Structure 1
Amino acid sequence: MKKLLLLKFALVLLSQVVYGQVKVEQIQEIQVGADTCYARAIHVDSTGLYLGTSNGILYHYNLEKDLLKAQYGSSEMVEIRDLYRSQQGLLTMKSGSTGKLMWVEGQTTRYIDTVIFDSVFLDVLDMTSTGVAVMMGDPVNGFFSLYCSFDYGNTWSNMSYMIPAPDGEFGYAASGSTLKMLSDTSFVFVTGGSKSVFYTVSFKKSEFVELKYTKTEMPFESGEGSGAFSMTSIDDSTFVVVGGNYTEPGKRKKTCFVSSDKGQTWKPSDKMPNGYRSCVIYDEENEILYCSGRNGIDYSLDGGKRWKSLSKTLAFSLTLYKGKLYGTTRNGKVKIFSIKVD
């Protein structure tokens, strides 16, 4: 009996050690955009914070001086849902009845409006360091809307009408994280709705774009507003996908699944995030996963097996920079979390 009690005590201590080491030391709130907008696209680097918002404006905020440095865009870019900053410039993506892109280089702004985006609701874009980009939109005529660029997003080719989209299956534009480039010739993306599916796609550049793909169904709940909303990778084989049902933000059932074999099989978290989650990111340096949604932010220290609440603060999208966690929210504001990792 004594040995059993000691074993139980040791397990309790181990649990505290493993799951009690990430804390929020301070939360700072900054007003970046207009108080009438919200944001789902964010990037932070040494040049400042970039925020793409629902009113069509890209805000550039100087974090050191705590002031707005510049803003770009107009009403024709309403509903910026994703952005990517490369060595060539910054690309923002508009979602709506017809997709459009805005290219920002220095103080120059240029719109990329092509016929292949007509009547397409764009969901997500991603890019490699060499400027190969892929963008996905909602299905059209029974196929996923896919586009590729080989010049940092300046010009685009149509990859559509190659991957069938079953009725009711589509992507979400919740945080610009449902598609991830794996290399200059491959990417993965996830869907929701009638089914939640993990797609692995390879392609090549020639006279036309040739696609090869595989797909695996993920066990999220099905239905409108349900499924996979965000994805990240821990290594080349391990992927973590979060989601749920955005109409039931507090429902914890089936909100995270993990694959350790490049998406071939999926396992549910032993302890799910605390509700619907629209974004998940990975802190490679500290080996910590963070995910967020309408009712708060969670973290995992064991690759997504168990999640623990970090904050009850709403955050649509997350990003990390120099030990701080940045979360987008309503009214043009950004929350900055100073994180302590023991």
Structure 2
Amino acid sequence: MRSSTIVPSILGAVATIAAASLPPASHLDISSLSWALLPTKSTQQFRGLSPVSDKIAYVSGTGGTVLHTTDGGLSWSSVGPVLSPEDAGLEFRDIEAITADHVALLSIGEGTDSRIYVTRDGGATWTQAFTNPEPAAFYDCIAFTSARNGVAVSDPVDGKFRLVETDDGGASWTLVDPAGMPDARDGEFGFAASGTCLGAGVGNRMYLASGGVDPGRVFRSGDGGRSWEVADTPIAGGAAAGVFSVRFRDAKHGIAVGGDYTAPNVTADTAAWSRDGGVTWQAASVFPGGYRSGSAWVPGLCGAAIAVGPTGSDVTFDGGKTWATFDNGSFDSVQCPQPGVCWASGTGGRVAKLKFTWATTLAA
């Protein structure tokens, strides 16, 4: 809409190794969680977020800004593409760290403002790998299922969400045949609010969140974005409302969050969960504390996930069925690259890392 992370297969191996040393999620409650703000020295809004580890992360946002840290957020370097004066206002709404140095970056906007840049040296140099040639297209999000294979999604063109794909790590992009995409409903679109309106799951699975219509919907693909099916969710949709973020921790268990960004304090009908791979969705029994634009599973903590938005952050310990607010600061995006490590980013240059206080004296 006019609105990230190491590749899932790599993260899976890291999570499996590290999770064995973590206490169970039952040793946490909302008092165990807090955000530690980091000194970006920026006032830009960072909707693009892609941490690689506890030490390495990228953020991207307004004013053509891309920042990179290699010391856990204590210091940041500006590593964005060199832009002409007329392009200085580009908004980089999504960024995907395929490895610590290989990164894909998406700018949003109508026509040629929608672009994909790629670096293989941590931002020292960038290649403009894709420029949208279709005036009616508006690209929202980008996701990779492997180090070579990725997809970017645009709002509907000619009645269907438009996709471009890469099989060479982002160096080149081609249009995906729209025959495998279900028809969009009148007024339906995606939200470029956190880089998670499009998500990659295990194998070649992909998920696409939509709004603009009631209810919000989630599209799912089992073949890397070539063919799709779609399901309604209980999340309320509308002109500024719907599903903003969809995330799956395995082939079956998923969460979706959203709401209405013009009514950020409304809590009803803002979250849902699935346990059948996205075929059906159930409403949360306790919703997050308002509209939420981003979400992430916490690796190593079965059933634990974080959701963020302009009015606060929430946690679930039961796979999205119930949520509890633990912070009232504003964030747009959240990503958890490895067990016990979560990052968030948002307006006013805000970037933070989540602090976990393990209650090891509690019964498991």
Short-chain TM bin: 0.7 to 0.9
Unaligned runs of 5+ in 1: 1-16
2:347 counterpart residue number: 330
Out of 138, 145, 148, the position equivalent to 2:165 is 148
1:85 counterpart residue number: 97
**Correspondence 1:73-222 to 2 at 5 A:** 73=81, 74=83, 75-76=87-88, 78-87=90-99, 89-98=102-111, 99-106=114-121, 107-116=124-133, 118-159=135-176, 161-162=178-179, 163=181, 164-182=183-201, 185-195=204-214, 196-203=216-223, 211-222=226-237
1:313 counterpart residue number: 329
Distance 1:56 1:70, change over 3 A: closer
Rounded Cα–Cα distance in structure 2 between residues aligned with 1:19 and 1:266: 28
Distance 1:326 1:115, change over 3 A: closer
1:303 counterpart residue number: 319
Rounded Cα–Cα distance in structure 1 between residues aligned with 2:50 and 2:75: 16
Contact 2:199 2:206 in 1 (8 A): yes
Rounded Cα–Cα distance in structure 2 between residues aligned with 1:124 and 1:96: 12
Deviation at 1:263, TM superposition (A): 1.6
Specify the structure having the higher radius of gyration (Cα). Answer: 1
Deviation at 1:33, TM superposition (A): 5.6
Unaligned runs of 5+ in 2: 1-24, 360-364
2:284 pairs with 1:272:
no
Contact 1:143 1:160 in 2 (8 A): no
2:57 pairs with 1:45:
no
Which one scores higher on RCO, CA 8 angstroms, separation ≥ 6?
2
Deviation at 1:291, TM superposition (A): 0.4
Matched residue SS, 2:232: strand
Deviation at 1:105, TM superposition (A): 2.0
Rounded Cα–Cα distance in structure 2 between residues aligned with 1:258 and 1:70: 37
Once the two structures are overlaid, the 10-residue window that deviates more, 143-152 or 58-67, is 58-67
Contact 1:61 1:70 in 2 (8 A): no
Deviation at 1:282, TM superposition (A): 0.3
Rounded Cα–Cα distance in structure 2 between residues aligned with 1:263 and 1:25: 29
Rounded Cα–Cα distance in structure 2 between residues aligned with 1:50 and 1:180: 18
Distance 1:26 1:165, change over 3 A: closer
- In the superposition, the TM-score normalised over structure 1's length comes to 0.85
Once the two structures are overlaid, the 10-residue window that deviates more, 326-335 or 284-293, is 326-335
1:124-154 deviations in Å (ceiling 9; x for gaps): 1110234110110111122211111111111
Distance 1:149 1:221, change over 3 A: same
Deviation at 1:58, TM superposition (A): 1.2
Q: Figure out how many residues of one structure are paired with residues of the other and give that number.
A: 320
Deviation at 1:61, TM superposition (A): 2.2
Matched residue SS, 1:276: coil
**Correspondence 1:25-44 to 2 at 5 A:** 27-32=35-40, 34-35=42-43, 37-44=44-51
**What percent identity do the matched residue pairs reach?**
23
- In the superposition, the TM-score normalised over structure 2's length comes to 0.81
Distance 1:30 1:212, change over 3 A: closer
Out of 288, 299, 308, the position equivalent to 1:292 is 308
Distance 1:186 1:323, change over 3 A: closer
Rounded Cα–Cα distance in structure 1 between residues aligned with 2:149 and 2:358: 35
